[in-house]
Amino acid sequence: MKTETAGTAGRILLSMLGRTWRITRLRPSTGLKGNSVLYAFWHGVQLPLIFTHRKLDIRIMISRSRDGSLVSAVCENMGFGTVRGSSSRGGVSAARELVDTLRAGYPGAITPDGPKGPAETVKRGVSLIPRRSDVPVVPYGVSAFPAIRLKSWDKFMIPLPFAKLVISEGRPIPPENCNPKTLTAAINSESHRAKLAASPIASLTISVIETAARMLTPLAELILLFRSAKERRERRGFIPFNSRRPVWLHGSSLGELKGLLPVIEILRSSETPVFVTCSTPAAREFIETENLTGAYQPIDTPHAVGKFLDRLQPSALILAETEFWPILLHETVSRGITAGMVNARLSRKSVKGYSFIKPLFSNILSCFTGILTDSWNWVCILNRPETEKQQ
């Protein structure tokens, strides 16, 4: 009886709090078909998701602990079905029940690092659930500002009244591709994307940059008048519409494109479509000489970047060396496009320059799946004190 009362009280309080939140949802351009899917997110962000996904008849796995009983009561009051069990207690039977539920066509949800952590570490056996039920996994990331973070192992998040709440939904992971490493990377990527969108400092920084870019657009157009018709068209984002969702590779100069050739050859050998962009005339000529599909990089304005990405629809971005164009990269990661960097090099002088936009720069780089570099300078941007100790 006490649990039922607590569940009702929790539903009322959460509903009152949730109705004040300003909710932003980030979704991939390719959605799901059908209801049978397994949602995955880290343990500390359940509270806002219970509100935003209420009454969807989702079956969620919850531990058999006393705290789990209270959470279960609230969830059931909010329209969820519950499967009781965890890695420490009743996990096998709960996993079997969840598999049966997913096979029956119901959506499910799981926190792969619960119930006791360590945080953001996928537990052994979690990947067996989507494989045995043959359903895709949708990674979720959640962030809010302002919010309270409890001093628990999962840093449980409670968005404050009228907070900006960002929920980032990733592309579905096929069951055969779901493993701890892939799932961890996917959830972390969505978590960073949500954090980028929720950060007031990062949002303010990109707004200032976009405003400055709009003011400088007439000057950019004037400069383009002295360029070829092809370059003017491509710099403005006018490329042919692409329905193949290619891997987009970018290198500024001829040397960077030559460094990307081994990656391009690997992709082409696997029949993966590629699209190459550059910044210099010599590099553009090289793209044509190598019989590659490509174009000049669009100028870094909201209009040109938006048109370019709308037409290209890339499945991923591979960036060579240090080509940090804030509007282009911010829009890329905000759209949920997988991004990575190869042969990344950054001088100490450049580190000081990027430090002026560190809140934006670090949040964007955190959304990258990987940065292949042998220099500590990249880490300096994200965590300078620890890096200096290691150096």
Q: How many domains does the chain have?
A: 2
In a domain, 40, yes or no: yes
The CATH number given to whatever domain includes residue 228 is 3.40.50.11720
- Please say whether the beta carbons of 307 and 236 come within 8 A: yes
What tens digit of pLDDT does each residue of 25-68 get?
Answer: 998 765 555 568 999 999 999 999 999 999 888 999 887 777 77
One pLDDT digit (tens) per residue for the chain, 391 residues:
567 787 889 889 999 999 999 999 998 765 555 568 999 999 999 999 999 999 888 999 887 777 777 888 888 889 898 887 665 565 678 888 899 999 998 999 999 987 777 888 888 788 899 999 999 999 999 999 999 999 999 999 999 999 999 999 998 999 999 999 899 989 998 999 999 999 999 999 999 999 999 999 999 999 999 999 999 999 999 998 877 889 999 988 898 888 888 889 999 888 899 999 999 999 999 999 999 999 999 999 999 999 999 999 999 999 887 667 899 999 999 998 888 888 766 666 666 666 666 778 778 878 887 777 654 443 443 343 333 333 3
Q: The tokens 């978590």 sit on which residue?
A: 191
The residue range of the domain holding 122 is: 2-187
DSSP string, 85-137: --SSSSHHHHHHHHHHHHHTT--EEE-TTTTT--TT-PPTTTTHHHHHHT--E
Can you list the alpha helix ranges (DSSP code H) found in 229-376? 229-235, 254-269, 281-289, 302-312, 326-334, 348-354, 358-366
In a domain, 139, yes or no: yes
Residues 229 and 368 grouped into a single domain: yes
What tens digit of pLDDT does each residue of 315-373 get?
Answer: 999 988 766 789 999 999 999 888 888 876 666 666 666 666 677 877 887 888 777 76
Residues 161 and 246 grouped into a single domain: no
- Please say whether the beta carbons of 138 and 178 come within 8 A: no
Residues 54 and 164 grouped into a single domain: yes
Q: Model-level pTM?
A: 0.82
Report the percentage of the chain scoring pLDDT > 90: 50
Q: How many residues does the chain have?
A: 391
